[in-house]
Amino acid sequence: MVEEKVLFPVSRDYFNDFEEIFSIQQEERLEKLISNYEKETIREIAIITVKSIEPYENIREYAMAISNDWEVGKEETSNGLTILMCTELKSVCITTWLRFPKTLTDDICKKVIPEFKNGNYYRGVEKGALEMMKKGIPNMSA
């Protein structure tokens, strides 16, 4: 567990590509997708790529800490979801808060994990976000 105050990068919006692995068009597409989802549902999603999780040793701890720092999800509704990716670690972590629908299923993982393993990070993030959004809103079309 990290004791000292960690200075996280400053959030620019819903989508924060600090690794700079996505094209501008991909960033714009994901940003629009997430923004529209929040307008429809009031649920917040943050997608973050980072080069390092230091001083944390565990990507889940880092994801929870940055989500808290950025206040992902409304405090009164606890409805946030964070997708954190660190390609250096070859790791992705998805964290949800209490009232965000528990959407991460084996079916979603089977669709997303092969994309990440093949280096198709954009497709993995997009597929994962769309599938989780569909689970959160049954009538939403991808």
The string of pLDDT tens digits covering residues 94-116 is 887 655 555 556 677 777 888 88
Q: Using one digit for the tens of pLDDT, what is the confidence trace for 115-126?
A: 888 889 999 989
Between 105 and 79, where is the model more confident? 79
Give CA–CA dist 5/21, Å, rounded: 28
Check residue 104 and give left, alpha or beta (phi > 0: left; psi -120 to 50: alpha): beta
Amino acid identity of 95? T
Question: Does the pLDDT at position 50 exceed 70?
Answer: yes
Predicted pLDDT at 41 = 82
Predicted pLDDT at 4 = 65
Displacement of CA 28 from its chain's centroid (Å): 15
Predicted pLDDT at 117 = 84
User: Residue 22 in contact with residue 52, Cβ under 8 Å?
Assistant: no
Q: What is the DSSP letter of 137?
A: S
Give the chain's domains with CATH numbers.
Answer: 15-99 (3.10.310.50)
Amino acid identity of 41? T
Predicted pLDDT at 138 = 40
Predicted pLDDT at 103 = 56
CA atoms within a 13 Å half-sphere pointing along the CA-CB vector of 77: 12
Predicted pLDDT at 44 = 85
**Sign of the alpha-carbon dihedral angle for 16, 92, 20, 89:** positive
pTM reported for the whole predicted model: 0.81
The whole-number average pLDDT for the span 128-136 is: 79
Predicted pLDDT at 19 = 95
Q: With pLDDT > 90 as the criterion, what percentage of the chain qualifies?
A: 35
Amino acid identity of 135? K
Predicted pLDDT at 65 = 92
Question: Does the pLDDT at position 140 exceed 70?
Answer: no
Q: Nearest 5°: phi and psi at 99?
A: -105, 5
Q: What is the CA radius of gyration of the chain?
A: 14
The helix (run of H) or strand (run of E) holding residue 45 is: strand 44-49
CA-based angle 90:64:28, to the nearest 5?
65
